[in-house]
Amino acid sequence: MNTKRMLLGLLITVPFIALLAWGLDRDPRFIPSPLPGREAPDFSLPIMETSGDFSVREPGPGEVVDLSELRGQVVVVNFWASWCLTCRSEHVPLSRLAEQYAHEDVQFFRILYNDRAENAASLIDRMGGQSYPTLLDSRSGTAIRYGLTGVPETFFISRSGTVAHKQVGPVSHDLIVQWVDRLLEEEWSPAEADSDEASPVASEGQ
């Protein structure tokens, strides 16, 4: 009888304890993203002009970046805002790595979220410029299509246009290198491209 009671007690308590143990190392506010492994939502966003240094790509004012035209290239998309203190810590590694990978098939973009362009431009200027473009996301349509839950968030997109990884919170130099190198090594056939255009910058406005 005692063995039966013990077994009954274990049958009830073990699943509860397992549930608690499973939950202990999880952030209850973490939102799992369905995007990794799926095609990245397309965007066509204007480039924000700043007084910063665009020596790597030199995009002109009023031009737009169309993700669908970037097939064959690894794309790193970082959502940020000038009021986000954590986002500032990403400025140096992202800028340096954008320069480091300038001659490879890698594109870096920052998308401004819930912020004024003039505030972002001012901050970029004070931080010594930025070696890659910031894009303007009017009404946060792109941010919502990417399931943004906060800033900073960074998406690593493969040559075939698939979201390979979503990083919630700040990205480090090592993490960027790890994902970019891994995605550059992936085989990709030009036949997979949706468009023949490889240039990230279109001449038309949005």
Judged by CB under 8 A, the residue of 83, 162, 177, 194 near other proteins is 83
Q: Which stretch binds other proteins (CB under 8 A): 92-100, 140-148, 177-185, 196-204?
A: 140-148
Q: Is the peptide bond before 41 cis (omega within 30 degrees of 0)?
A: no
Cβ distance to other proteins smaller for residue 47 or 74: 47
Cβ distance to other proteins smaller for residue 106 or 151: 151
Judged by CB under 8 A, the residue of 37, 96, 138, 172 near other proteins is 138
User: What amino acid occupies position 142?
Assistant: T
> Which tokens sit at 141?
């349509």
- Please, what is the minimum distance in Å from the beta carbon of residue 75 to other proteins? 18
- Please, what is the minimum distance in Å from the beta carbon of residue 187 to other proteins? 27
CB-based contacts of 59, cutoff 8 Å, min separation 6: 47, 65, 133, 201
Judged by CB under 8 A, the residue of 100, 122, 177, 201 near other proteins is 122
33 is an interface residue for other proteins by CB under 8 A: yes
Chain centroid offset of residue 146 CA: 9
Q: Which of residues 163-202 bind other proteins (CB under 8 A)?
A: 168-170
Which residue reads 């805002």 in tokens? 81
Q: Please, what is the end-to-end C-alpha distance for the chain in angstroms? A: 76
CB-based contacts of 101, cutoff 8 Å, min separation 6: 108, 180
Q: Which stretch binds other proteins (CB under 8 A): 69-77, 100-108, 147-155, 193-201?
A: 147-155
- Please, what is the minimum distance in Å from the beta carbon of residue 186 to other proteins? 24
CB-based contacts of 192, cutoff 8 Å, min separation 6: 71, 159, 160
Give the whole-angstrom CA distance, residue 181 versus residue 194.
Answer: 23
Judged by CB under 8 A, the residue of 106, 151, 157, 183 near other proteins is 151
- Please, what is the minimum distance in Å from the beta carbon of residue 78 to other proteins? 12
Strand 74-80 and strand 106-112: the pairing is parallel
Give the whole-angstrom CA distance, residue 162 versus residue 35.
Answer: 9
What is the contact surface with other proteins in residues (CB under 8 A)?
5, 8-9, 12-13, 16-17, 19-20, 23-24, 26-35, 41, 46-51, 61-62, 81-86, 114-119, 121-123, 125, 136, 138-141, 143-153, 168-170
